[in-house]
Amino acid sequence: MNEEIRKQAENFINNINESDKVAIITDHDPDGFTSGTLFFDYCLKKGAKVTQFTYSRGSSIEDDFNLENFNKIITTDLSSAAVAPILKKYEKKEILFMDHHPSDAKLPEGVIEYRTMYRGYIPSARSAYELCGGKKWLSLVGIIIDAGFLYKENDEFIKGALDEVNMTRKEFQDSVAFPISNAITYLNKEPEKAFPLVQNISNYDNLEDIKKYSKPIEDEANRLVKEFEQKKEDLGGVIFFYLEPKYSVKGIIVNKISLKEESLDKIFIFASPNDSGKITFSARSQSKKINMATLLQEGIKGIDGNVGGHFNASGGIIPKEDLNKFKENLRRFLKKNPLN
């Protein structure tokens, strides 16, 4: 069944031609923008008219996507719950949905629902490259920022991509992947600028336009990494860090700290305020000691909050005034259920 759907996805892509008008809806992050760029470039190569739309979680609504003039729709790196209302509205069009997370909503009949989890943890940028070809190094950016290098199923692909650019993973992430991710973060409130910035990169050794956006984010991230060492708290086997970043760099901080070699056996919770005055959490661990969603669920007991995510990576949100209660809940839980 999985391979049959993959064939359907391949046929959808192969049949794109100069008579098509294609709408591509991407997630608002590096994996979404890099996979979206690979689809976008492929459509241009086939002579199709193509337009990209960014879905921003927490702010995008169905009416933001006027797709009447398109006959084909591709969504990438977005949950079914996010795009189901949009795809229902345009269900008579030809639609390819591609993601690497479990289903959380039913999509309309006729949608090609290509989920790649049956092959392991495969970021959308890799799947888009395998369907479309194009800039393999750009696919590697999405894979690295989405932590795909932590999963052995990506080892061969990553090695091949690194051999082509003649870099180590550290060299590539420091000189290519992180600057592109930083630039997307800097333009967080202007995705209409961020996607073209990524799509127009001609090569990995020509990032001058990227670097002017990347530098402020890099400086802020370095400041917060130093602050982490001073202000981190041990809640009983879980390292907790509250930060108030100048830019939307929490995701960068999460990766910089939790994905260090010496951090892979540790458990982290990063907390920061959002624009609505609530506290958002990112829980990360590669240790396999506890499900991160379960850990956050223990933290929000008795609190009006929400949690979602996966074993190694989960997120949550609570009212700001309940932050101390959240921490106390975790201390109590970890005292009764030590992780060591």
Who contacts 9 (Cβ-Cβ below 8 Å, separation ≥6)?
96, 98, 112, 114, 131
Q: How confident is the model at residue 61 (pLDDT cuts 50, 70, 90)?
A: confident
Residue 140 has what pLDDT?
A: 98
Range with the lowest mean pLDDT among 68-72, 131-135, 178-182, 309-313? Answer: 309-313
Query: In whole angstroms, how far apart are CA 23 and each of 65, 91, 277?
Result: 9, 13, 34
Q: Which two tokens stand for residue 283?
A: 């829980």
Give pLDDT, residue 38. 98
> What pLDDT, on the 0 to 100 scale, is given for residue 263?
74
Domains and CATH numbers, the chain: 2-210 (3.90.1640.30), 232-336 (3.10.310.40)
Q: What is the pLDDT of residue 200?
A: 95
pLDDT tens, residue by residue, 253-299? 887 888 777 777 899 999 999 888 899 999 998 888 999 999 999 99
The mean pLDDT of 205-226, rounded to a whole number, is 91
Question: How many other C-beta atoms lie within 10 A of the C-beta of residue 168?
Answer: 10
CB-CB contact of 246 with 277 (8 Å): no
- For the segment 66-114, what is each residue's pLDDT rounded down to a tens digit? 999 999 999 999 999 999 999 999 999 999 999 998 888 999 999 999 9
The pLDDT assigned to 26 comes to 97
Distances (CA, A) of 80 to 56, 87, 135, 138, 203: 14, 9, 27, 25, 32
Contacts (Cβ under 8 Å, ≥6 apart) of 185: 217, 247, 248, 249, 251, 252
Q: Name the band, by pLDDT with cuts 50, 70 and 90, for residue 15.
A: very high
The share of the chain scoring above pLDDT 90, in percent, equals 74
**Distance in angstroms (rounded) separating the CA atoms of residues 16 and 110:** 17
Please name the residue that has the structure tokens 């194009």.
Answer: 134
Q: Is 190 exposed, middle or buried (0-12, 13-18, 19+ CB in 10 A)?
A: exposed
Spatial separation of the C-alpha atoms in residues 303 and 232, rounded to whole Å: 23
Q: Quote the pTM value.
A: 0.83
Q: What pLDDT shows up at residue 89?
A: 96
List pLDDT tens digits, range 303-329: 999 888 778 888 899 999 999 999 999
The answer to whether 197 touches 214, Cβ cutoff 8 Å, is: no
pLDDT at 57 over 80: no
| Helix ranges (DSSP H) in 110-207 | 124-132, 136-145, 155-165, 169-172, 178-186, 191-199
pLDDT of residue 254: 85
Length of the chain, in residues:
340
Query: What is the per-residue pLDDT for 251?
Result: 82
Q: Alpha-carbon torsion 159, 163, 169, 174, what sign?
A: negative
Cα dist from 50 to 53, 74, 114, 248, whole Å: 10, 10, 21, 29
246 and 138 in contact (C-beta within 8 Å)?
no
* Lowest-confidence region among 185-194, 232-241, 246-255: 246-255
> Counting Cβ atoms within 10 Å, is residue 93 exposed (0-12), middle (13-18) or buried (19+)?
middle
